[in-house]
Structures are given as C-alpha cells and as structure tokens.
Structure 1
Amino acid sequence: MILSLPVADLLILALSLQGFILSGILLYSARKIKSNRWISLLILCISLEAVTPYILQIAYSHSFTAISYILFPVNLALGPLIYFYTRSLIFGDEGLPNKTYLYFLPLLIGLKHQLIWLFYTSGLLAIPFIQGLYFKTAVQNLLFAYSNRFIFLSMASMLIYMVISYRMIAQTTVDKDAPIAKIEDIKWLKKMLQLLFALLVLWVLTIIVKTIFNTSWEHSILFIPAIAFVHWLGFKAYARQAHMVPAEVEIYNKPAANISYFSTTELAEYSTLIYKLMNEERLYLDPLLKLDDIAAKLRLPVKHVSHLLNQHVGKNFNDFINSYRVDEAKLKLADPSLNHFTIAAIAYDCGFNSLPTFQRCFKQFTGLTPSQYQNTLKLSVNQSKQ
C-alpha cells in the first residue's frame, strides 16, 4: 500500500507528538531508573528530527523565521546517547565517563542559523576583517548551501558509537542475581542496536534515492519506521520496569555485569605473555614500572591489561608486581653471599623505591618482616648444623 504524502506527514506528526510524551514519561521514570534518561533523550532527538521540517515550514509560511534560531540538527547526539544508554544500563552511573558533555560538542557544527543570526545582530559584520571573511565564497557555501557532509558525519558518528556499544554488550556477562528486568534489558540492547543499524542503512538509502531521483518523500520513508521504532523502544523499556519493587530498582541501578575483553584463546595467550614479561624479562626490577609499560609491551589498551590482572590473574597491578619483587627479595635474603648488603639495599635492588613500602609488602605476602624472615633463615641453618 502506498501512502500519499499528506497522510504520511500526518502520521509522522502524530507519532512525533506521542514520542515527546513518551520521552517525558521515561525522563520522569529516570528518578528511579537512572539509565532511562538516556533513552528518553534518544526518543526526544529522533522525534524532534522527524518534526523539525514541518515546524520550519509552518514558521516560514507565517514569516516567523526566528524559529530557525531555536531549532538545530541533533543528529550528532544520537551516537553518544546510544553509547551512554548502553554504559549506564550495564555498568550503572559509575560506568559513565567523566565530562560526558564533551561527547556532545560536535552538535555545535549544526548551529549554522544561530551563527548567521549572531553575525547580523551583534554588529560583528561591521568589522572589516570579519565582513571580508563572512562574504568569502567558501564561508557562504558552508553557511547557506545544502550539503550531505553533515549528514554523512552524523551517520559515521552513529555507526562508530553503535559498534562500540555492540562490542560492549557482546563482552558482557550478567550476574545471575540481577533483576529479571535488568537481564532482559541487556539482552534486548543487542536487538535494539541491530534495528538501529537497519535504520542507519535505510537512512543511507534515502540519501541515495534523493540524490539520484530528486524526490521529496524520503523524509517519510525514513521517519515513519524510525518513530515507530522509538515507540517500541520506549514502551518495551517502560513496561519491563513498571512492576519492579523498590529493592529491585536499587539493584537495577547498580553495576550488574562483568565484562571480558578477551576470548578464551586470547586470555590464555595474554596470560602467558604477561607471566613471560615477569619471569624472563623481569620487568618488576624497574622501580618506575607502570601499568602503561606492560600495556605497551603487550600492545593492548591499559584498561584491558588492568582487567586481565584483576579478573583473571586475581591481583591488581601493584600486588602483582610487588609479589614478584618480594619473591626476589626472599631469594636475596636467603643468599649467604649477600649478607653484607643491608635490607634497604636489597629492597632497592628488587625494584622497590622505598624501604617502608618494601617492609609493608614483604609482611603482606609472607606474614613476616624482612628482619624476622632473615632471623628465621639463620635459625633454620643453625638447627640444621646441630
């Protein structure tokens, strides 16, 4: 069945209105379910993008051009919102990066109308240098000519964030004690991203169709399924969470997943390599050794190496390195040929950069101070001689 354009427009406007209402409901529910604020903003942005051409058309037909200074494209917000929803759902608010607003700075690229308004109302165009710059052909084309470059940039941003989010979900194992709604939402995230990818493909196809055939109905082809999708997105999320009791809500908002950056084969490979760096290259003897140095040796991101140590080796970086240094110190303290060395000299020779740190770590791993350990060895030797 082929919808006539007016019917399609009416459908988009009706669905967009419902999208705004649904976004408000989810934003209100974010008081309890923290991750809902991101999905609420995602629905709001898609609904706003769908309805903006109609708002501008009505505004221009009534000579109300000031509306163009308020509205601006929010395409570049879609990717970060998908990413933050994924992180917030899986890891809770603790999993969100610092200064999240930096991820939305690319939105400034879409503020062309606002920039034009600023030039004309601030008196900047009276300055000869700015006037000459403003009326350059390249600047005029950038500000006034239609270009697909902004759209392609939005698509690329969305695709990159979707791939990162999809990998995050694929590498996640959910705690069995997590609420059923949380488990279902994390499973559902993968399906959501698959549908978003289908919408992205449809977006590319509408651009191609518009370029080749110079049509005017590609907006309807894209946004009718897009708005239908976000309705499904919001209602499914809200329905799953509506019947949770306060105790489940509290657990839902906490990190309820562990993430693994390695396959089983990679895990065995990198575990072997990290032990090789310690046993053969003896990196632990370097008192300035940092996690970054091991990551560089393994050619892995720092957070992957940290995860490898914490989740699979069972020690954090400091404990892992210091355990090797203490083992080295035990060998030196037991070597009679090194009796003329002080405990401090042995500590520094084993990679420790301070005597108090050495003494604390030595007792942590052996239950004895270095002096007690030495005395125990001497006593054992004397008893064996008798």
Structure 2
Amino acid sequence: MNLSNLLSLVAVITIFLAVLLSFFLVSVKTQNKLSNRLFALFLIWTAIDISGVVIDSFLTEVGNLQMLRPLFIFLQLPTFYLYVKSACYSDFKLKWIHLLHIIPFLLVNTILIPRYYAVDLLGKVDFLSNIQSMWEIQFNFILIHIQIAVYLILAFLNIKKAKRLYLENYAGESIETFNWLFQFTVALSIFYGIALLKNIFKFSEYQEWSDSLTVGLFVFELLIISWYLLKALTHPNLFRSLDSKLQLVEHIISEDEQEEDNDTNETSEELIALKKYMEEEQPYLNPGLTIQDISDAIEIPVRELSLLINHQLNQHFYDFVNSYRIEHAKKMLKDPSKNKWTVLEILYESGFNSKSSFNTAFKKHTGTTPTSYRKSL
C-alpha cells in the first residue's frame, strides 16, 4: 500500500468516526446538550478539514470548493473554545456576540475573492500553480497559527479557572473530568504543533517530510477521536458544570480588602461551628456535597464559608471535605470488625464514588495507598 492509499484509508476511518461520534453527541439524552452539540460541530469541521484527501481525488477540475474546504479550519478552534466554556459552566449560553469568532473565517475568504473566487478557471489554475508565493496564502498561514495559539491559551485558562472554582465549592469526583479536559486540550496542542511543523516543511525543500507528518497527523487525529468516543461511551455524564457567577476566593479577598476586617471572635465561632457540624453530622459521607449544602446547614453565607475554608484554613473545599473522608476511611481500615470489607466498599462508605479519586486523596493525605495502609496496621 502506497502513501496516498494509506492516507485515504486513515482519512475515511477518521471521518467515519467523527461523523458517528457527532451523531451520538447530538442524539444522546443528557443535560449537557449545548456542550455536546458544540463538540459535534467541532468534529464536523474536523471531518471537513481532512476530507480533502478523499474529495480532491474525485474532482476533475479546479473550483471554489478546493479553496473553501481547508479554510473551515478557522472554525475549529473557536468552536472548541466555546465547547470548553459550555462544558465548564452550566449557565453558559450562546449569544450574538459569539458570532465574532467567525470573523477570521470570513476575512480569509474575503481576501481570496479578487484573485481566486471571482476569476475564471484559468485564473484559478494560475493561482494554484503559484500558491506558495501568493500573499493571501501566506497571510492565511500566519493567521491560522496565531488563532490556534490564542484559542488554546484561552481554553487552558478557562479550564484552570473552572478547576479552581470546583475545588473551592465542590467535593465530588468531577475534578477528574477537568483533568481529562486538560489532557484532551494538551493532545490538541500537540496535534496542532505537529501540523505547524508539517506546514513549515511543506513550504520548504523537505516536501517528503511534510507528507510523512501528514500520515502521522491523520493517525494521531484518529486516536484522539477514538479516545473521546471511548470517554463519551463510558462516561455519558462527563461534566458537572459550574455556575459562572461563582467567584474565586482571591477575588473575594481583594474585594474585602476595601472593607473592614472580619471580627476575629466571630471567625473563631464560625470555625468551631463548622468543625462541630462536620464531626457530628458527617455531611462528607454525601459524595455530592457542595459548599452550598454546608452553608445552608450551619447558616453561614457561602461567601464567608468559602473564605473561612480556603483562606483561614488554607485548604480548598475539596481537600477540606476529603480530609474528613480519609479520616473516616482510616478508622474503617483499622476496625477489626471490617477486616473482610474491600477497599471499594470502604471508599463508598466514606463518601467517595470512584476508586481513582479515593486512592489519589488517600495518598495525598497519608503518603501511602489504602491497601498498604491496611497491611501496615
């Protein structure tokens, strides 16, 4: 099998999976409808982008489609960025202002009108024959890589902020989904980094290197889509989204610096009330516990409770709750009457709802694994 046939085969498989996953995301019943649809749209742009390997072999003459198709890449990263926003925040909605994200796509097509879209067949052939020296193509090449860098940075910043908000306000297992979203964005960054290298070779004397990297990119893209498909099937409710109105503690502190300091005695009383509630009522056994739940129970406003835990105790709410869960798990591991209990049973009884989150939290608080801890007793 030659390089061209291999490329076509991988492209067809990738396009098939992308379309299949898009259909699954749009049709599946879930609360994350908007984020699913945005990611499905991202996959459609991706399928269009790589379809050139297949479509171009069937085109008998030069046309506008050959230029328009690869330019859909200018819609990929804006759509992915909006997907990240919708996946992180439950109240995210598409607004008219989001149409600004399509400006680069419109711009690159507009500048091609005079010397490509609006000319006859001979003009198009002449343009494609000298494509590497055309300023429109060079401009598009520079713009797409600037756009990729900007949107990937924005995606990483949004994930980082959302994860911090989650740690300060929630104590479930969903932190793992933010870690996965970060990993997926890293994978995309690597993909586009290789694509940049491929394009550099394409406009140089090392054309054969560009062809080899193209095959590698298609295989990598196939792996990324397969990875997401696996996650979508095994974790249909991938994200527990946040309220975008939540504030980071550092912002609350910054605002409070302009106001009077809290009374020390009042803070101490609130801290005593919080610890008493945690020890006596054991709310941490609820795997879906949120800071709002505790706020309602001990009648301390969420804002003050967040400052108390994150600033006064110097802990994220996530770690604060897990510290109680781990102590509860340690007592169960020490209890002779529970010797026959499995680690899985103990983690569920302690308020965790996944083995990976339990092992990570246990090792963070004790320096060892649950199994090793039990053996050392």
Classify the TM-score, shorter chain: 0.5 to 0.7
Task: Give the C-alpha shift of residue 84 in structure 1.
Answer: 0.6
Residue type of the partner of 1:221? Answer: G
Change (3 A) 1:206 1:78: same
- Residue in 2 that maps onto 1:154: 144
Counterpart of 1:195 (choices 187, 196, 209) is 187
CA distance in 2: counterparts of 1:222 and 1:169, whole angstroms: 25
Alignment partner of 1:225 is 2:220: yes
Whole-Å Cα distance in 1 between the matches of residues 29 and 205 of structure 2? 44
Could you tell me whether the CA contact under 8 Å between 2:48 and 2:70 is conserved in 1? no
Verify: 1:255 aligned to 2:251, yes or no. Answer: no
| 1:44 pairs with 2:34 | no
Q: Residues of 1 paired with 2:67 and 2:205: CA distance?
A: 31
* Higher Cα radius of gyration: 1
Superposed, which structure 2 residues align to 1:214-293 within 5 Å? Answer: 214-215=207-208, 216-241=211-236, 252=240, 255=243, 258=246, 260=248, 262=250, 271-272=256-257, 274-275=258-259
Contact 2:90–2:241 under 8 Å retained in 1: yes
Q: How does 1:54-73 map to 2 (within 5 A)?
A: 54-60=54-60, 63=61, 65=63, 67-68=65-66, 71-73=69-71
Q: CA deviation at 1:141?
A: 7.4
Structure 1 contact 26–238 (Cα < 8 Å) conserved? no
The one-letter amino acid of 1:155's match is H
| Inter-partner Cα distance in structure 1 for 2:198 and 2:116 | 31
* Letter matched to residue 207 of structure 2: N
Does 2:25 correspond to 1:26?
A: yes
Q: Residue type matched to 1:232 in 2?
A: W
SS at match of 2:92: helix
Partner of 1:163: 153
Q: Shift in Å at residue 219 of structure 1?
A: 2.3
Moved more, 106-115 or 201-210: 106-115
Give the distance between the partners of 2:29 and 2:247, measured in 1 at CA.
25
Q: Deviation at 1:41?
A: 1.4
Give, in angstroms, the shift of residue 162 of structure 1. Answer: 1.4
Q: TM-score, normalised by structure 2?
A: 0.54
Deviations 1:186-212 (A, max 9, x none): 331111111111112211221233324
What is the aligned residue count? 249
In 2, Cα distance between the equivalents of 1:52 and 1:92?
36
Judge conservation of contact 1:20–1:47 (CA < 8 Å) in 2: yes
Corresponding residue of 2:277: none
Tell whether the 8 Å contact from 2:42 to 2:80 is kept in structure 1 after alignment.
yes
Displacement after TM superposition at 1:88 (Å)? 0.5
Residue aligned with 2:137, SS: coil
TM-superposed deviation, 1:238: 4.2
The percent identity for this pair of structures is: 14
Q: Deviations over 1:348-371 (max 9, x none)?
A: xxxxxxxxxxxxxxxxxxxxxxxx
CA distance in 2, matches of 1:148, 1:50: 20
> CA-atom RMSD, angstroms?
4.1
Distance 1:200 1:154 in 2: 10
| CA distance, structure 2, for counterparts of residue 87 and residue 271 of structure 1 | 28
Q: Equivalents in 1 of 2:253, 2:31: separation in Å?
A: 41
Distance 1:110 1:222 in 2: 24
User: 2 CA distance for matches of 1:311 and 1:58?
Assistant: 62
Offset of residue 142 of structure 1: 10
Letter in 2 for 1:78: Q
Distance change in 2, residues 1:117/1:86 (3 Å): same
Distance 2:45 2:234 in 1: 21
Alignment deviations for residues 214-241 of structure 1 (CA, whole Å, 9 cap, x no partner): 2234322322212321231243134311
Contact between 1:89 and 1:186, CA under 8 Å: does it hold in 2?
no
Please tell me whether the aligned partners of residues 41 and 81 of structure 1 are also in contact (alpha carbons under 8 angstroms): yes
Matched letter for residue 149 of structure 1: F
CA offsets 1:128-151 (integer angstroms, 9 cap, x no match): xxxxxx9xx9xx979967734313
Is the aligned partner of 1:213 residue 2:206?
yes
5+ long unaligned stretches in structure 1: 122-133, 277-309, 315-386
How far 1:14 sits from its partner (Å)?
A: 1.8
Return the alpha-carbon distance in structure 1 between the equivalents of residues 113 and 249 of structure 2.
43
Q: Secondary structure at the match of 2:188?
A: helix
Q: Matches of 1:224 and 1:205 in 2, distance apart?
A: 16
When normalised by structure 1's length, the TM-score is: 0.53
3-state SS of paired residue (1:24): helix
Contact 1:16–1:47 under 8 Å retained in 2: yes
- Equivalent-residue separation in structure 2 for 1:148 and 1:116 (angstroms): 14
Shift of 1:267: 6.8
Look up the match of 2:283: none
* Paired letter, 1:26: L
Gaps of 5+ in 2: 261-301, 307-377
Indicate how the Cα distance of structure 1 residues 101 and 16 shifts in structure 2: closer, same or farther if over 3 A, else same: same
Q: 1:201 to 1:253 in 2, by over 3 A?
A: closer
AA partner of residue 255 (structure 1): D
Write the letter of the residue equivalent to 1:205: L
Give, as a single letter, the amino acid of the residue that structure 2 aligns with 1:101: L
Whole-angstrom distance in 1 between the partners of 2:49 and 2:199 = 15
